[in-house]
Chain A
Amino acid sequence: MKHLTLFAAGGIAAMALIAAAAPARAETQLNVGMAAADLGSLDPHRSATTQDKAVIGWMFNGLVRFKPGTINPEQIEPDLANTWESTPDQLTWTFHLRHGVQCNNGFGELTSDDVVFSLKRAANPKTSAFSSDFADIASIEAPDPYTVQVKFKKHIPAALGLFTNYQGGNIVCKKAVEKLGADFRTKAVGTGPFAIAEYDPSQSVTLVANKSYFRGAPKIDRIVYRYIQSDASRDLAYSSGEIDLIYGRQDQVWAQRMQSQPHTVVDVFGPAELSDISLNITKKPLDDLRVRQAIAYAINRDELVKFKGAMTASAAVSIIPHGYLGTDEHAPLYPYDPAKAKQLLAAAGYPNGVTIKAIQTSFPSMLNTMQIVQAQLKKVGIDLQLDVVDHPTFHAQIRKDLSEVVLYSAGRFPVADVYLTQFFHSRSIVNTPTAVTNFSHCGMADQEIDAARDATDLAKQKALWKTAQDKLVEAVCAVPTYEQLQVWAHRDKLDFGYKLEASLTLGPIINETTTLKP
């Protein structure tokens, strides 16, 4: 027994001794904890993953930007361009750049040459994941070093949105792209308030303040953005004070628990990501409208919201997220009516129930949604069989059109056209050369979606989008379920410097107005 005690005492003493060697910390450093294993890409034209968007937002500017903390296309303000104008037909846009804006990491002044290069790069499928957004651009030119002129082939809705600090609109510095080549992915250079200093694979990205930022030097000197995959350790790192800003699990339990932590502010903000359950109308038995209607009647949105928590989730209003320009906020969704569902199933020739199959990701928050839906459908005699696979497999298989039913959770640029086109236009049907994410094979609203795209009158445009949504809802191309807001938390010593209502980077914007008290 004496030996055991000796071992134990020795062990504890050694631990205490090692612990005594504590590290010192100078300057203002913001420590961020993100739920991801690693960086995807810091190249704004190539990255679409949640973990990259926030960082990219701190490093880049657009020609124009959304007012920090908002995503309202009607509140767009100057960014790299001081002023801009468009011709009455909105086919030609001219941007006048700020003078003296410096590219980070010593890549010189940003001129129209960089902007033209950057927009062309964003429009090129070989260098950009967002090239299709720029498909209707005819030319991008620089008449002088501080002027950029963009001509469109035809009118597109919310054209100014292409030049915001979002995806392909983020302006990269030409010399840096040319010099860094493939390394641009991890050493990306923009003009934003923060610049890349270091990338440590699977561990962290370190950004430093751009002291010559055109809006003024940031008050935070350094940001360490850590990839902390394990939810438990990320929360523990926050509790121990090692991180100040934390990406949250999108559920109410987490939000409530964080609220009870001392000196903590929970941020619940937009844009909401809508979870639609797409039904493949070309596959039996889903080719029968009655079966699809039965599914729509059997799914209880309110129960899903209750499970997800009213603080961070709300019921869907249409097949596209609420609050977008053109969303029908009161779309004629099918109400919860299990009796009606059973009737419809019987009428369709399935009085004893029916079996449908879905390939489902093991991603926890999506899997538990689908498990609730599975239980709801069971009550009316629909046996939803889930083939659970890992997330990359899920994405690969649903794009090969292998799943009859697809639960997909997404937010897009807040204009109805984008969501409708990507999810419900026949051009976007999966497993075709022009595929995006149309899993339902619906195309009955193509005309309205295209006509709205061409319309120059906003009221007419909105009316067309409404008709499109009504048609798609009625045909049950997808069953909209709930919308999930973004959830983060931060210590109250961190002040963003603006009111965070929504952010297209899916994370708080950290800029020259953000402060971190010691």
Chain B
Amino acid sequence: MLSYIAKRLLVAVPTLLAVLTVVFFFVRIAPGDPAFIILGDQASQEALASVRHQLGLDQPIPVQYVVFLGQVLQGDLGTSLVTNRSVWGEVVKVLPYTIELTLTALAIGIVLGLPLGVIAARARNGAIDYLARFFSLIGLSFPAFVSAILLLLVFAIQLHWFPVISEARLDDPAARLRALALPAINLGLIMVAYVMRVARSSMLGVLGEDYIRTARAKGVPARMVIWRHALRNALIPVVTVVGLYLGVLIGNSVLTEIVFNRPGLGKLIVNSLNQRDYTMLEGMMVIYAFFIVIANLVTDLTYGLIDPRVKRQ
């Protein structure tokens, strides 16, 4: 098992290097000048040149690449061009917010989406099924920033239950929970829609299988048939979707973070892009790619838990 994980992580190294290289060259091909963004529109050419020199941006790009690669191989992601703070430090600062948001949204998605999917499948073409499908369609087609503003209007402006500025210090758990609630619900509801749809269709497939009929014929209680025999077999596609969507979720969190004013990885990436903060962007992309690798790995390991046949392979 451990050697499997180690092998998978080792395979990820070239992937990360490729991501790094692509990002490095792409951000430099894009027009825009970090020195200009630092100094503003009244800066003289001389001042701009001096800042470019300080940042090492006057070196030929291949030289910059080699220097950068050397740094990364030593585990140093460098410092932000704009704020001069350590990239790793900035990431570590916002990471808890991104992780808590992503995991909570994921939890909401699974806890609500899975049972809803099962219930809808059992009541196929009944009122509940139509209702659930209708709501999941809304969940899938609603842009995250629109639902975010609707949530704010209702729960922050009308009911005053939650703040609009969903920011809280890490050492204040109560405030943190309050700040997490709306953004997590916003992302979570989209997740519910995804999970519910996949769980429902996967369940429908399984419910038609021979072994379900056999179980029923043997007089196994309906509850047992559904939750024990059918669900476990219907879970694989659900796990796949959740795993794939985990990456999307981290990316999707950008809009949620912006609308709810939450610190987070997504917001940091967009800001660095707008500021042409090359080093920050490169660091972020590596970390982001690493997350996707981990998410895929966890997905694969979960397959083994659900279906022992996968583990044996």
Does residue A410 face the partner (Cβ distance < 8 Å to B)?
A: yes
Say which residue of B31, B94, B132 sits within 8 Å of A392 (CB atoms): B31
User: Given the known A-B contacts A3-B119, A125-B47, are A18 and B177 also in contact in the complex, defined by CB atoms under 8 Å?
Assistant: yes
0/1 string, B154-182, CB within 8 A of A gives 1: 01110111111101000010110110010
Q: Which of B33-51 contact A (CB under 8 A)?
A: 33, 36-47, 50
In the complex, what's the smallest C-beta–C-beta distance from B242 to chain A, in angstroms?
A: 19
**Chain B residues within 8 Å of A46, by CB:** 38-39
User: Given the known A-B contacts A23-B175, A40-B37, A433-B45, are A242 and B115 also in contact in the complex, defined by CB atoms under 8 Å?
Assistant: no
Does residue A389 face the partner (Cβ distance < 8 Å to B)?
A: yes
Q: Is the CB of A201 within 8 A of B177?
A: no
In the complex, what's the smallest C-beta–C-beta distance from B292 to chain A, in angstroms?
A: 22
Q: Is the CB of A237 within 8 A of B164?
A: yes
> How many angstroms from the CA of A239 to the CA of B263 in the assembled complex?
21
**Chain B residues within 8 Å of A186, by CB:** 83-85
**Chain A residues within 8 Å of B43, by CB:** 48, 129-130
Q: Is the CB of A38 within 8 A of B46?
A: no
Q: Is the CB of B163 within 8 A of A232?
A: no
User: Given the known A-B contacts A4-B128, A21-B177, A48-B40, are A230 and B259 also in contact in the complex, defined by CB atoms under 8 Å?
Assistant: yes
Q: Is the CB of B47 within 8 A of A236?
A: no
Binds A, one of B2-10, B60-68, B206-214, B268-276: B268-276
> How many angstroms from the CA of A40 to the CA of B34 in the assembled complex?
11
Q: Which of B270-286 contact A (CB under 8 A)?
A: 270-271, 274-276
**Chain A residues within 8 Å of B12, by CB:** none
Q: Which residue of A lies closest to B44 (CB)?
A: A132
Say which residue of B167, B181, B267, B275 sits within 8 Å of A15 (CB atoms): B181
**Chain B residues within 8 Å of A226, by CB:** 165, 261
Chain B interface size, as a band, is 35 or more
A-B contact count (CB 8 A): 179
Q: Which of B40, B127, B155 has the most CB of A within 10 A?
A: B40
Q: Is the CB of A21 within 8 A of B178?
A: yes
Does residue A249 face the partner (Cβ distance < 8 Å to B)?
A: no
0/1 string, A224-265, CB within 8 A of B gives 1: 001011101100110110110000000000000000000000
Q: Is the CB of B181 within 8 A of A47?
A: no
In the complex, what's the smallest C-beta–C-beta distance from B252 to chain A, in angstroms?
A: 15
0/1 string, B122-160, CB within 8 A of A gives 1: 000001100110000000000001000100110111011
> How many angstroms from the CA of A132 to the CA of B163 in the assembled complex?
46
Does residue A307 face the partner (Cβ distance < 8 Å to B)?
A: no
Q: Is the CB of A396 within 8 A of B32?
A: yes
Q: Is the CB of A396 within 8 A of B44?
A: no
Does residue A203 face the partner (Cβ distance < 8 Å to B)?
A: yes
**Chain A residues within 8 Å of B258, by CB:** 229-230, 233
Does residue B260 face the partner (Cβ distance < 8 Å to A)?
A: yes
In the complex, what's the smallest C-beta–C-beta distance from B54 to chain A, in angstroms?
A: 8
Q: Which residue of A lies closest to B261 (CB)?
A: A228
User: Given the known A-B contacts A40-B82, A395-B41, are A19 and B178 also in contact in the complex, defined by CB atoms under 8 Å?
Assistant: yes
Q: Which of A363-392 contact B (CB under 8 A)?
A: 389-392
> How many angstroms from the CA of A125 to the CA of B39 in the assembled complex?
11
Q: Which of B77-100 contact A (CB under 8 A)?
A: 82-85, 90, 93-94
Say which residue of A39, A41, A204, A422 sits within 8 Å of B42 (CB atoms): A422
Q: Is the CB of B42 within 8 A of A436?
A: yes
Chain A interface size, as a band, is 35 or more
> How many angstroms from the CA of A201 to the CA of B172 in the assembled complex?
19
Q: Which residue of A lies closest to B270 (CB)?
A: A37
User: Given the known A-B contacts A19-B178, A201-B93, are A242 and B164 also in contact in the complex, defined by CB atoms under 8 Å?
Assistant: yes
Q: Is the CB of B174 within 8 A of A40?
A: no
User: Given the known A-B contacts A125-B44, A125-B46, A183-B84, are A200 and B263 also in contact in the complex, defined by CB atoms under 8 Å?
Assistant: yes
Does residue B204 face the partner (Cβ distance < 8 Å to A)?
A: no
Q: Is the CB of B84 within 8 A of A233?
A: no
Q: Is the CB of A39 within 8 A of B83?
A: yes
> How many angstroms from the CA of A201 to the CA of B116 in the assembled complex?
40
Does residue B112 face the partner (Cβ distance < 8 Å to A)?
A: yes
User: Given the known A-B contacts A48-B43, A126-B50, A202-B268, are A240 and B32 also in contact in the complex, defined by CB atoms under 8 Å?
Assistant: no
Does residue A131 face the partner (Cβ distance < 8 Å to B)?
A: yes
User: Given the known A-B contacts A4-B131, A48-B42, are A202 and B271 also in contact in the complex, defined by CB atoms under 8 Å?
Assistant: yes
Does residue B30 face the partner (Cβ distance < 8 Å to A)?
A: yes
In the complex, what's the smallest C-beta–C-beta distance from B150 to chain A, in angstroms?
A: 11
**Chain B residues within 8 Å of A239, by CB:** 157, 164
Q: Is the CB of B47 within 8 A of A1?
A: no
**Chain A residues within 8 Å of B181, by CB:** 15, 18-19
Q: Which residue of A lies closest to B180 (CB)?
A: A18
> How many angstroms from the CA of A222 to the CA of B88 in the assembled complex?
30
Q: Is the CB of A38 within 8 A of B275?
A: yes
6 interchain pairs, CB-CB under 8 A: A1-B128, A38-B271, A226-B261, A229-B258, A233-B149, A392-B275
Extra contacts, 5 of them, besides A40-B37, A186-B83 (Cβ < 8 A), are A19-B178, A200-B263, A203-B261, A233-B164, A392-B36
- Interface, chain B (partner A; CB < 8 A): 30-33, 36-47, 50, 82-85, 90, 93-94, 112, 115-116, 119, 127-128, 131-132, 145, 149, 152-153, 155-157, 159-165, 167, 172, 174-175, 177-178, 181, 185, 258-261, 263, 267-268, 270-271, 274-276
